[in-house]
């Protein structure tokens, strides 16, 4: 028999090293702080060396421990993959995905047929959220959320969601959108023609119009303004011809491609933080999950409309 280290201690150690905190590890594993400390101590005894040292009030992994934890994590991934491969091939696998409503309606769902064709054994269960920064409460395998800030302006999503790994996959930029009926008669020849028009805005996206007007070099407009509580409602109002809106590409590219919406000045755009796929550190890292994340990245880089095969 191989002389293996204690498995329970390995699992606790991997989480403690990955999260960088005994407290975070205890929360993730549902253990007490003392239980985490005892498991780490038992592994240190088995190895014959310290894995964590005290820095201030925190226990911090040594460089050797961090390298060891990465290998342990990879080993856990291989065990999970082997166990799944050894299981029933035809057994359905459910992947629970939490997505902002507008992104689900106009970007994710129109593309899911391609993932289902690639992984027919995986059932994707989509749940929607109406706020991009909604607290992550669990109950999902992947949560799609907007990244906190453009690259270089903030340290990254890891500081906003410290218990989750973020995989960026989709860039986004806002532009002016309207229904074709609203543009009949050629009333929108220059960006300045928007100043007296009806504008449709969203409470959850308060800077959309201000930023686009700044990019267009225009002053504050004088036309009527309607405000809706959620962006998917605003998109519907724009599609129905109630007024002009600011909408993101490529999320609304399907509506633009089918002619339900028109972008009269597509060169005037406002870059926005893109979307990332968040996976809990304690999620089972199954081949299905890895395949879905890789598919999201591929779709985010894919040219052309969602309906392409």
Residues 16 and 39 in one domain: yes
Q: What is the CATH number of the domain that holds 231?
A: 3.40.190.290
Structural domain span for residue 199: 91-309
- Higher-pLDDT residue of 180 and 82 is 180
Are the beta carbons of 209 and 246 closer than 8 angstroms?
yes
Residues 77 and 100 in one domain: no
Q: 167 — phi, psi (to 5°)?
A: -115, 100
Residues 74 and 131 in one domain: no
pLDDT in tens, 151-205: 444 434 445 666 778 899 999 999 999 999 998 877 788 999 999 899 999 998 9
21-47: average pLDDT: 89
pLDDT in tens, 241-288: 999 999 999 999 999 999 999 999 999 999 999 999 998 776 667 888
Residue 300: pLDDT band with limits 50, 70, 90: very high
In a domain, 36, yes or no: yes
In a domain, 2, yes or no: no
Residue 77: pLDDT band with limits 50, 70, 90: confident
Of 86, 101, 119, which one is at a domain's C-terminal end? Answer: 86
Q: What is the DSSP letter of 155?
A: S
In a domain, 106, yes or no: yes
In a domain, 207, yes or no: yes
Residues 239 and 116 in one domain: yes
Please give the pLDDT value at position 25: 85
Residues 65 and 101 in one domain: no
Residues 194 and 167 in one domain: yes
Of 54, 70, 86, which one is at a domain's C-terminal end? Answer: 86
Residues 74 and 203 in one domain: no
CA distance 84 to 140: 19
Residues 80 and 117 in one domain: no
pTM above 0.75, yes or no: no
- Higher-pLDDT residue of 181 and 81 is 181
In a domain, 1, yes or no: no
Total number of domains in the chain: 2
Burial (0-12, 13-18, 19+ Cβ within 10 Å), 197: middle
Least confident of 74-83, 132-141, 150-159, 213-222: 150-159
Of 68, 86, 104, which one is at a domain's C-terminal end? Answer: 86
Are the beta carbons of 196 and 222 closer than 8 angstroms?
yes
CA distance 85 to 287: 9
CA distance 110 to 115: 11
Residue 166 half-sphere exposure, CB side, CA atoms within 13 Å? 18
CA distance 43 to 48: 8
Residues 269 and 291 in one domain: yes
In a domain, 101, yes or no: yes
Q: What is the CATH number of the domain that holds 60?
A: 1.10.10.10
pLDDT in tens, 13-31: 998 888 888 888 888 888 8
Q: What is the mean pLDDT of the chain?
A: 85
Residue 52 half-sphere exposure, CB side, CA atoms within 13 Å? 27
In a domain, 64, yes or no: yes
Residue 231 has pLDDT above 90, yes or no: yes
Q: 78 — phi, psi (to 5°)?
A: -70, -35
Residues 101 and 68 in one domain: no
Quick one: which H or E segment has residue 226?
Answer: strand 225-228
């Amino acid at each position: 028999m191989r002389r293996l280290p204690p498995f329970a201690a390995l699992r606790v150690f991997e989480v403690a090293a990955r999260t960088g905190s005994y407290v975070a590890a205890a929360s993730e594993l549902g253990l007490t702080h003392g239980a985490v400390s005892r498991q780490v101590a038992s592994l240190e005894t088995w190895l014959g060396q310290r894995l964590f040292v005290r820095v201030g009030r925190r226990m911090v992994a040594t460089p050797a421990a961090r390298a060891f934890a990465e290998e342990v994590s990879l080993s856990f991934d291989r065990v999970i993959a082997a166990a799944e491969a050894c299981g029933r091939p035809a057994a359905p696998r459910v992947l629970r995905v939490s997505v902002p409503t507008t992104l689900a309606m106009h970007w994710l769902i129109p593309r899911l047929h391609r993932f289902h064709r690639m992984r027919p054994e995986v059932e994707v269960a989509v749940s929607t959220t109406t706020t991009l920064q909604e607290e992550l409460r669990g109950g999902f395998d992947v949560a799609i959320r907007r990244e906190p800030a453009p690259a270089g302006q903030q340290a990254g999503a890891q500081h906003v969601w410290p218990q989750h790994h973020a995989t960026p996959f989709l860039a986004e930029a806002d532009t002016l959108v309207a229904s074709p009926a609203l543009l009949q008669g050629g009333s929108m020849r220059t960006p300045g023609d928007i100043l007296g028009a009806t504008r449709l805005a969203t409470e959850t996206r308060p800077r959309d119009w201000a930023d686009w007007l700044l990019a267009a070099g225009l002053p504050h407009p004088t036309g009527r303004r309607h405000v809706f509580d959620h962006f998917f409602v605003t998109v519907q109002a724009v599609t129905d011809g109630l007024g002009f809106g600011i909408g993101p590409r490529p999320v609304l590219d399907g509506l633009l491609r089918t002619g339900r919406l028109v972008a009269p000045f597509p060169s005037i755009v406002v870059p926005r933080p893109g979307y990332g796929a968040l996976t809990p550190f304690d999620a089972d890292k199954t081949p299905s999950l890895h395949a879905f994340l890789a598919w999201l990245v591929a779709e985010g880089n894919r040219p052309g409309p969602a309906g392409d095969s």
